[in-house]
A and B are shown apart, each in its own frame.
Chain A
Amino acid sequence: MLKSSWIVFKKDVKIEMKSRVLAFQVLPLAGAVLIIFGFALGPDNQVLSRAAPGLVWITILLVSLLAVTRSIAIEDEIGADGIRLFGIDPGGLYLGKTMAATIQVFLIGVVIIFSSAAIFNSGFSDILSILAMVLGGFLAVGALCSAGILFGMMSLASNVRETLLPLLFLPVAAPVVLAATKVSVPALGGSKASILEWLGVLAVLFIAYLSVGTVVSESLLEEN
């Protein structure tokens, strides 16, 4: 399983290196979303810097949704039957795709967070909070992608369409966004209360979604 997950991971990363869909299409879109948020809330610096963590995470949520859709679209051509035919382990496929999506969304997320600190004037506080935010951000993106790829694989095995994916994804993503926002508040200049607990919540979410996905992916692609 781990071997096939590594193969899938490398393949997905390579495809992105060549096609640059996330870098040249999704990342600019995220920037545009941040600017639109700025327009919607008005030029008041205080309001913007208070809202910054939430806005950042809604943007990252949108990015991970797009990344998941993209990641599944790559496999759409061969479909569930093709995957079975190639003899790729479904658990491995799931893990590999999740890891690839996580790394890619995480990198985009880092760019989003740093640029939002600049354009929303929230600035950064001490280095420890920033480290906590980066760690929490990785866990959060991991949780988002584990859940997203799981639903995406469901759509691969059937004709669940693009409109259904967000509906399934958002309620599962809600606690992740909540915890991730809380972890980002101190780094973006807010209060430091209970950051460790929220980091714990994110770790639990990541592990829970990833293990459910790994266990379940087998029966999702099975032939009925």
Chain B
Amino acid sequence: MTLEVNATKGNSESYDQIPNVAHVEPRLPGVSQEDGELDSALRASYHCRWRTIVGVLGLLTTLLTLVLGLFVTPPVQVLGNTGRLLYVHPALAWGALYLAFGTTTVASLLWLWKRTRSLFWDRVAGASAEVGALFLALTLITGSIWGRTTWGVWWTWDARLTLTAVLLVLYLGYMAVRSVGGSPSAKATRNSITALIAAVDVPIVHFSVDWWNTLHQKASVLTPNLNLRVHGIIAVTMGISFVAVTLIWVYLVRLRYENMLLEQAKERAYISISIQERLKESEDVK
């Protein structure tokens, strides 16, 4: 039987070619530190029950946001019915720009710092960035829809919009770096450095586009004198939408994290199989 570990990635049909993964002793000769870490992480994930609770709560708050946002709340003043996007767009932006980006940055630092170094942080950083990229794309899409109705354009070269677009590219670049091969710890270092450079870049881009705008384009479209008075049911719904996005984010990050663990275990099993086969071949030759 020939093994093509790389070719099987992401292709459900070719999984069937390796029917005996489940019966393989998933350990290489000479247990490395990374192996031990993976084992204990897998063990820990077996006992994880809070993810389901968070998921159910996230689903409930999302439903509540939908009902309140679409049917219960009055049209927001000045913005009218379009103002209902107030319960989607800011919460997604919070999830992508602060929650996810912050978590990725902190987790990357925790990997680079020798005293807290653990592959756990690398997986958290990656999972968080992936969910963050999704939320950021949704922030841009919902913002664009909102912009179309309020300013009449899908896109404008406003400072904040430009920063968000650059950030999305940074996220995508980070995810592309994550997909490059190597040993888990070499990958983790590379990923963390990329995340760190992105984190340094964000304030720089922020200030430069801010200046670019304020210096050359008197009025920014995102600071119209709307004087929104957010209160009562509107404030409550906004608050719930933030809670919903946070819970969903936690749930998705945890799920993605578990996927990463299983993928790593699968790759280890493949390597184990191929080593055993080579050993058997060499014995047959003898």
| Chain A residues at the B interface, C-beta cutoff of 8 Å | 147, 150, 154, 157-160, 164, 167-168, 170-172, 174-175, 178-179, 182, 193-194, 197-198, 201, 204-205, 208, 212, 216, 219-220, 222, 224
Contact = CB atoms under 8 A, between A and B. Distances in A.
Given A208-B200, A212-B200, A216-B193, A167 B186 contact: no
Nearest to A147: B197
Most chain A beta-carbon neighbours within 10 Å: one of B170, B173, B205, B209: B173
A171 B201 contact: yes
Interface string B165-180: 0100110110011001
Given A154-B194, A158-B181, A216-B193, A201 B207 contact: yes
Contacts of B172: 167
B208 interface: yes
30 contacts: A150-B197, A154-B190, A154-B193, A157-B190, A158-B182, A158-B190, A160-B177, A160-B190, A164-B176, A167-B172, A168-B173, A171-B201, A172-B201, A175-B205, A175-B209, A178-B209, A178-B212, A179-B208, A182-B212, A194-B215, A201-B211, A212-B196, A212-B197, A216-B193, A216-B196, A219-B193, A220-B189, A220-B193, A222-B189, A224-B182
Interface in B50-80: none
Chain B interface residue bracket vs A: 20 to 34
Contacts, number: 85
B169 A167 contact: yes
Most chain A beta-carbon neighbours within 10 Å: one of B182, B209, B211: B211
Contacts of B190: 154, 157-158, 160, 220
Contacts of A204: 204
Interface in B179-226: 180-183, 185-186, 189-190, 193-194, 196-198, 200-201, 204-205, 207-209, 211-212, 215-216
Given A150-B197, A179-B208, A212-B196, A171 B189 contact: no
B176 A167 contact: yes
